[in-house]
Structure 1
Amino acid sequence: MNTPCYIRAIGHCVPERILTNADFERMVDTNDEWIVTRTGIRERHVALNGETCVDLCLGASQAALAQAGMDAQELTHVIVGTFSADSVIPSAACMLSHRLGISGRMAMDLSAACSGFLYAVETARALLMLHPKAKILVAACDIVSSRVDYTDRSTCVLFGDGAGAVILTAEPGQGSSEVVDVLLAADGAVGDLLTVKGGGSGTPYKLNDAIRKDFFVEMNGREVYKHAVRNMSGICEEILTKHGLTDRDVDVFIPHQANLRIVEAVGKRLNLPEERVFTNLQKYGNTSAASVPLALSEAVGEGVIKPGHTVLLGTFGGGFTWGSALLRF
Structure 2
Amino acid sequence: MNGSAVPPGRAAVITGIGSYLPPDVVTNDDLALRLDTSDAWIRTRTGIGRRHVVSPGTATSDLAVEAGARALESAGWDRVDAVVLATTTPDQPTPATAPQVASRLGLGTVAAFDVSAVCTGFLYGLATASGLIASGAAEQVLLVTADAFTTIIDPEDRGTAVIFGDGAGAVALRAGDADEPGAVGPLVLGSDGSLSHLIEVPGGGSRQRSSGKPVDPGDQFFKMLGRETYRHAVEHMTDASRTAVGRAGLEISDIDRLVAHQANARILEAVADRLEIPAGARLSNIEQVGNTGGASIPLLLAQATADGRLAAGHRVLLTAFGGGLSWGAATLVWPELRSV
Q: Are 2:40 and 1:46 equivalent residues in the alignment?
A: no
Distance 2:305 2:140 in 1: 21
Query: For 1:78, what is the secondary structure of its paired residue?
Result: strand
> Please, which runs of 5 or more residues in structure 1 have no aligned partner?
none
Code of the residue aligned with 1:29 in structure 2: it is: D
Code of the residue aligned with 2:39 in structure 1: it is: D
Code of the residue aligned with 2:141 in structure 1: it is: I
The match for 1:55 among 47, 53, 62 is 62
> C-alpha displacement at 1:208, in angstroms?
12
Q: Are 2:182 and 1:193 equivalent residues in the alignment?
A: no
Distance 1:287 1:77 in 2: 24
Equivalenced residues, count: 325
Distance 2:295 2:262 in 1: 9
Distance 1:184 1:139 in 2: 19
Query: For 1:214, what is the secondary structure of its paired residue?
Result: coil
Distance 1:294 1:144 in 2: 15
Q: Give the 3 Å change call, closer, same or farther, for CA 80–279 of structure 1 in structure 2.
A: same
Q: Are 2:297 and 1:253 equivalent residues in the alignment?
A: no
Distance 1:161 1:186 in 2: 24
2:30 equivalent in structure 1: 23
Code of the residue aligned with 1:33 in structure 2: it is: A
Contact 1:9–1:176 (Cα < 8 Å) also in 2:
no
Q: Are 2:77 and 1:75 equivalent residues in the alignment?
A: no
Contact 1:17–1:49 (Cα < 8 Å) also in 2:
no
| TM-score of the pair, normalised by structure 2 | 0.92
Contact 1:64–1:167 (Cα < 8 Å) also in 2:
yes
Distance 1:102 1:241 in 2: 38
> C-alpha displacement at 1:51, in angstroms?
1.8
Query: For 1:171, what is the secondary structure of its paired residue?
Result: strand
Distance 1:99 1:28 in 2: 38
Contact 1:160–1:284 (Cα < 8 Å) also in 2:
yes
Code of the residue aligned with 2:217 in structure 1: it is: R
Instruction: Note the 1:114-125 alignment, pairs <5 A.
Output: 114-125=119-130
> C-alpha displacement at 1:102, in angstroms?
2.7
Query: C-alpha deviations, 1:151-194, integer Å up to 9, x for none?
Result: 1111110000000011111137xx96221221111110111011
Instruction: Note the 1:5-24 alignment, pairs <5 A.
Output: 5-24=12-31
1:324 equivalent in structure 2: 329
Distance 2:84 2:247 in 1: 27
Distance 2:102 2:333 in 1: 29
2:289 equivalent in structure 1: 284
Code of the residue aligned with 2:121 in structure 1: it is: G
> C-alpha displacement at 1:132, in angstroms?
6.4
> C-alpha displacement at 1:306, in angstroms?
1.5
Query: For 1:22, what is the secondary structure of its paired residue?
Result: helix
2:160 equivalent in structure 1: 155
Code of the residue aligned with 1:57 in structure 2: it is: A
Instruction: Note the 1:1-329 alignment, pairs <5 A.
Output: 1-71=8-78, 74-131=79-136, 134-171=139-176, 177-204=182-209, 212-329=217-334
Code of the residue aligned with 1:288 in structure 2: it is: G
Query: For 1:180, what is the secondary structure of its paired residue?
Result: coil
* Deviation beyond 3 Å, 4+ runs, structure 1: 205-211
Q: Give the 3 Å change call, closer, same or farther, for CA 157–205 of structure 1 in structure 2.
A: farther
> C-alpha displacement at 1:133, in angstroms?
5.3
Contact 1:147–1:216 (Cα < 8 Å) also in 2:
yes
Distance 1:110 1:50 in 2: 23
Q: Identity rate of aligned residues, in percent? A: 39
Query: C-alpha deviations, 1:236-265, integer Å up to 9, x for none?
Result: 011112223222100000000001000000
Contact 2:25–2:53 (Cα < 8 Å) also in 1:
yes
Distance 1:25 1:245 in 2: 45
**Mean alpha-carbon deviation: is it higher for 87-96 or for 109-118?**
87-96
Query: For 2:102, what is the secondary structure of its paired residue?
Result: helix
Query: For 1:202, what is the secondary structure of its paired residue?
Result: helix
Distance 2:176 2:306 in 1: 22
Distance 2:62 2:211 in 1: 29
Query: For 2:258, what is the secondary structure of its paired residue?
Result: strand
Contact 2:259–2:318 (Cα < 8 Å) also in 1:
yes
RMSD: 1.8
Q: Give the 3 Å change call, closer, same or farther, for CA 211–137 of structure 1 in structure 2.
A: farther
Contact 1:158–1:286 (Cα < 8 Å) also in 2:
yes
> C-alpha displacement at 1:90, in angstroms?
2.1
Q: Give the 3 Å change call, closer, same or farther, for CA 302–176 of structure 1 in structure 2.
A: farther
